[in-house]
Structure 1
């Protein structure tokens, strides 16, 4: 990867900056993002709002996707086509999202090389800073060939 994926995400997705999201690690096919504990992001029970957790996880998934396919931006536009999230425990405090690409780069690029629009999943675990799981998310991405 020839560019800073975390910086690119924060530059191109202003809402992630608004939430104070930062990227701890971005490696090929995986990324870890963090969101601070701020009162303006809380829900009615004092934890991070579900929408803020969703955005954190979607941002981590985007960084994981770009870490694998950012070099393809000249020929394809990445788009999230769907997402499912399951909240498993009330989150309190700072939260961390760990995203992993579910397909191999080779499989996805073979589809793109064949002129098709590949779809692939990125799974995301969301937990508190001490590692307690609070949510699970799967984001489906596509690489839409540029015309």
Structure 2
């Protein structure tokens, strides 16, 4: 039986109001993969008519955060997820709506084992950003950590 991750989209919009402001939607959510969509919105365009680079980064980081939320939901009372670092490569001119696919690159079991051993884990999430035609316009790696909550 598969787990229900329907809470993630609403939680992301509540916990991170910017997600709602930008109009990011979530097409697919699992504990290992999330697909987020940034709609084409004229006020958010850059000087060449596509989504601003900051918004491309934002949809990618948002997708990575959603997969982290899904993967570690049951541990949010013990640790707070935070971005440790991120890198993006802009591959092609982006125009129109964008789709960001984020994939957890380390098993959640290993991350939790490290957290429970007293070490603050770091783990990468790979993100591919594509346009409506499926052309890759950007690639990201977002490295997350779980910061233990103080009791």
Query: Normalization by structure 1: what TM-score?
Result: 0.97
In structure 2, relative to structure 1, the CA distance for the partners of 1:74 and 1:16 (3 Å cut) is: same
Compute the displacement of 1:66 (Å).
1.1
Q: State the superposition RMSD in angstroms.
A: 1.0
- In structure 1, runs of 5+ residues without a counterpart are none
Aligned equivalent of 1:104: 107
Compute the displacement of 1:146 (Å).
0.8
How do residues 16-31 of structure 1 correspond to structure 2 at under 5 angstroms? 16-31=19-34
Aligned equivalent of 2:90: 87
Determine whether 1:10 maps to 2:33. Answer: no
Aligned equivalent of 1:134: 137
Aligned equivalent of 1:120: 123
Compute the displacement of 1:106 (Å).
1.3
SS in 2 for 1:134: strand
SS in 2 for 1:68: helix
- In structure 2, runs of 5+ residues without a counterpart are none
Q: For residues 62 and 10 of structure 1, what CA distance do their matches in structure 2 show?
A: 12
Aligned equivalent of 1:32: 35
Aligned equivalent of 1:51: 54
Q: For residues 20 and 5 of structure 1, what CA distance do their matches in structure 2 show?
A: 15
SS in 2 for 1:47: coil
Asked if the contact 1:30/1:65 (under 8 Å) is kept, the reply is no
Compute the displacement of 1:108 (Å).
0.2
Asked if the contact 1:126/1:133 (under 8 Å) is kept, the reply is yes
Aligned equivalent of 2:78: 75
Asked if the contact 1:5/1:63 (under 8 Å) is kept, the reply is yes
Compute the displacement of 1:29 (Å).
1.4
